Chain A
């Protein structure tokens, strides 16, 4: 919805694909999931995998601290001006779904101040299985769960597991130690997701974030096509 078509007009009010100056805005991908499932570690790994080929930035939505933003700063995955923390009033699911105004300002300011950007990753603070991103904020969303959180989570479903554009089952290296059945998790996820993709990942062993980074590249190619 364009309320103002002039190129020097005020910023857009919704998820317009074009910025006020007429350029295509960055692709926005949300990452949500329960506490401790590895969202921030996945964001850090994605930054390392993609930063040499793409111009990218990150918005974090912490619950009561700046821990996630500070972890990314400490790990130096991106220059500090490309990482913004949004304060959520103890409710990240509100800030990413019901009232997205602070996050929209964060992504627009990142594009204004560090752009042009190809990709902005919007990370939610750890939340429950129903937390999803508004389509007014992100173009695609990744839901991150882990094998140690219980191998019945894919079977339980819920909006995050069922509707996310990509489901990541993280920490597969821990499966033998916590007694999680990866085949059962894969079968349950397939049954819940009606053909939407699932990636099993361990950031400590094997190919790491490669599969997720590949999915992000595909989304970006579709966005800029």
Chain B
């Protein structure tokens, strides 16, 4: 396996549509919950330990070879907001396109065939990691990093926040990213034996509510 493949998959410029999504940051900025670097860090920490853990565990389980259909149903069950389900499937469809071109393999072809309108993005991310020769920890690391880097880069655009301050906030979160990535990979291994229903089901109600409100705005910079 190639360590560099992890960098290719985790690169924020990997062409899978993430640039158009704020990870809930646009709604949080409008609501006054993100006003600068400190509150961005708080927002990212909350997202990391809730939906971030859930997504990373799904990605790790997919990387271990768990059934994508069962994982996609588990992702639906853990995503109450219809707007977030739509966004996750849209991003999953874009990721499967990019991953098939980058690491062609029959598993990704099968996933594209099973979900023509897209599976949940974390599930696709795990299968893509597997196709790239990466393991469950790698998939979890990609997932937790994009969970915090997406809101950070969106907030730089939304608040004209100093990009160095936003990046420093990400660096301060790094030890917690380690903890959540490993917890997610451990949970994924247990779920292989005990079933996908045992995967983490943490939730962040404000992210769900904010996503529903955001989807109804007539004017917005980001798709979610």
Contact = CB atoms under 8 A, between A and B. Distances in A.
Interface stretch (B66-74, B108-116, B166-174): B108-116
Contacts, number: 74
Q: Interface SS of chain A: helix, strand, loop or mixed?
A: loop
B189 interface: no
Contacts of A4: 109
Contacts of A104: 97
A155 B8 CA distance: 39
B220 interface: yes
A101 B16 contact: yes
Contacts of A95: 19-20
B93 A105 contact: yes
B101 A14 contact: yes
Q: How big is chain B's contact interface, by range?
A: 20 to 34
Interface string A92-104: 0011001111101
A17 interface: no
Interface in A61-99: 63-66, 87-91, 94-95, 98-99
A105 B94 contact: yes
Interface of B: 13, 15-22, 90, 93-95, 97-98, 100-101, 104, 109, 112-113, 116, 154, 157, 218-223
By CB atoms of chain A within 10 A, which of B13, B15, B222 has the most? B15
Contacts of A91: 19-20
B221 A3 contact: no
Can you list the 4 inter-chain pairs with the closest CB atoms, starting with the nearest?
A: A89-B20, A10-B112, A101-B94, A87-B223
Q: How big is chain A's contact interface, by range?
A: 20 to 34
A11 interface: yes
Given A87-B220, A89-B221, A99-B15, 12 more contacts: A11-B97, A65-B219, A87-B20, A87-B223, A89-B19, A89-B223, A91-B19, A91-B20, A95-B20, A99-B16, A101-B95, A102-B20
Contacts of B113: 9-10
